[in-house]
Amino acid sequence: MTRDFSVPQTRKLVTALPGPRSVELQERRVASVSRGAGTLANIYMESGSGAILVDVDGNRLIDLGCGIGVTTIGHAHPAVAAAAAEQASKLTHTLFTVTPYENYVRVAEKLAEITPGDFDKHSILVNSGAEAVENAVKIARKFTGRRAIATLDHAFHGRTNLTMAMTYRPWPERAGMGPFPGEIYSVPISYPFRDPEGMTGEEAAERTIDYINTHIGATELAALFVEPIQGDGGIIIPAPGYFKRLSEFCTENGIVFVADEIQAGIGRTGTWYSIEHHGVVPDLVTSAKGIAGGFPLAAVTGRAEIMDAVQPGGIGGTFGGNPVSTAAALAVFDVFEQENLLEEAKRVEKALWARIGDWAEKFPVVGEVRGKGAMFGIELVKPGTKTPNPDALKAVLAHATANGVIPLDAGSWDSVLRLLPSVIISDELIDDAATVLEEALARVS
């Protein structure tokens, strides 16, 4: 289909990057914003359309990150802008738990329809991914009467105090900011690139299960949280069969299986939820990021009997599922259907494989290219080894951002180049961005 973009879908640099206005803003920022909010590239943005961001100096940049997987349908989609503006002029807030409104119910209905599983599903809506994960913990504990929570190595589940305890790496996310709550256990994941050669998904699952049995005890465990495709952990895709075996183990032992789909869900990988690639139906699913085209909204959706274990008043929050965010989400769902965006995600996957799939053969610093839909990771290593190469990643990011391409970093060792472009990014933009990244990879090789 042809789309109308308010900005041409091409990269165009009119200044060095960052440009003079960005440099000026950066000086003001350093004087006013906490350095704790670090940034990947100090290029200040003014507008966007489709897969292009326009900075304050008029440069057009290719966005390969979508603000960490949020603007999946493209920047400033006109349908989302119109829905939010219309809702903002009608009603911006009542608090659903004081006096409700239809948008909230419609989003819950839609989530019941698109999440995996053919059973009654209920949802709650909140503001952020971390808040969704926290609520999933509360719900799973209330339902099971158990306390322990397991997460997978390399996981990212958020930055609140509870979700920090569920997030794998200490630096820079956790360092110095504890104490964190107890009864949270990180268990081994299936990481095909780093597991022993030939290890199957089932074998990796048995390793995880053995760890649970010997460190936690299956009957103590309330929930197992998994990202079916890990995002911040470095686009780790567990081996086939891994999640199937884990979900059987959870069912056998009364453990709630939670798919954290905050980064990989809502169509990014060519299916509504990335757990679908593993052929598994989770008990609970978290959604956020891409769900509302950039407006803050997140959800927990799952089996009605689990979601309803919490007493009325046991879950809440002032802004959760607010009228404008939910209006935006309903527009996102419509756009997905009207523009056939699940298919577009598959097109992006094909175009990426065709363009970057041979990088491990071409560049000695590339250990592996892996991905699904519009979610790819390029793991960088010291040539001839599997030793992580964070210096190479730093150099690639510096070259890319100086040349108007904005990818992301990832991985427990800061050595995975992460691509989360919009699913409407053109093949031409993929080609142009890949050329810039290749220049950088050739230099560091």
Q: How far is the CB of 173 from ligand PLZ (least distance, A)?
A: 8
Q: Which of 55, 134, 153, 260 binds ligand PLZ (CB under 6 A)?
A: 260
CB 22 within 8 A of CB 44: yes
- Report angle CA 143, 147, 151 to the nearest 5 degrees: 100
Our CB check for ligand PLZ shows the closer of 263 and 415 to be 263
- Report angle CA 12, 13, 16 to the nearest 5 degrees: 170
Query: Other C-beta atoms within 10 Å of 197: how many?
Result: 5
156: contact with ligand PLZ by CB under 6 A: yes
262: contact with ligand PLZ by CB under 6 A: yes
Q: What's the rounded Cα separation, in Å, for the pair 100 and 301?
A: 19
Our CB check for ligand PLZ shows the closer of 70 and 348 to be 70
29: tokens are 């920022």
* Segment contacting ligand PLZ by CB under 6 A, of 105-113, 128-136, 382-390, 407-415: 128-136
* Segment contacting ligand PLZ by CB under 6 A, of 80-88, 255-263, 331-339, 378-386: 255-263
For 215, residues 6+ apart whose C-beta sits below 8 A from its C-beta are: 185, 187
Q: How far is the CB of 29 from ligand PLZ (least distance, A)?
A: 17
288: contact with ligand PLZ by CB under 6 A: yes
Q: What's the rounded Cα separation, in Å, for the pair 25 and 56?
A: 9
Residue nearest to ligand PLZ (CB): 129
Q: What's the rounded Cα separation, in Å, for the pair 414 and 438?
A: 19
Binding flags for ligand PLZ, 204-243, as an x/- string (CB under 6 A): -----------------------x---xx-----------
Residue with tokens 């304050």: 56
379: contact with ligand PLZ by CB under 6 A: no
Torsion of CA 257, 258, 263, 269, to 10 degrees: 40
Q: How far is the CB of 294 from ligand PLZ (least distance, A)?
A: 12
Q: Which of 66, 111, 133, 408 binds ligand PLZ (CB under 6 A)?
A: 133
Total chain residues near ligand PLZ (CB under 6 A): 16
For 18, residues 6+ apart whose C-beta sits below 8 A from its C-beta are: 26, 41, 42, 43, 44, 55, 57
Q: How far is the CB of 40 from ligand PLZ (least distance, A)?
A: 10
Q: Which of 72, 123, 263, 426 binds ligand PLZ (CB under 6 A)?
A: 263
Site residues, ligand PLZ (CB under 6 A): 68, 128-130, 133, 156-159, 227, 231-232, 260, 262-263, 288
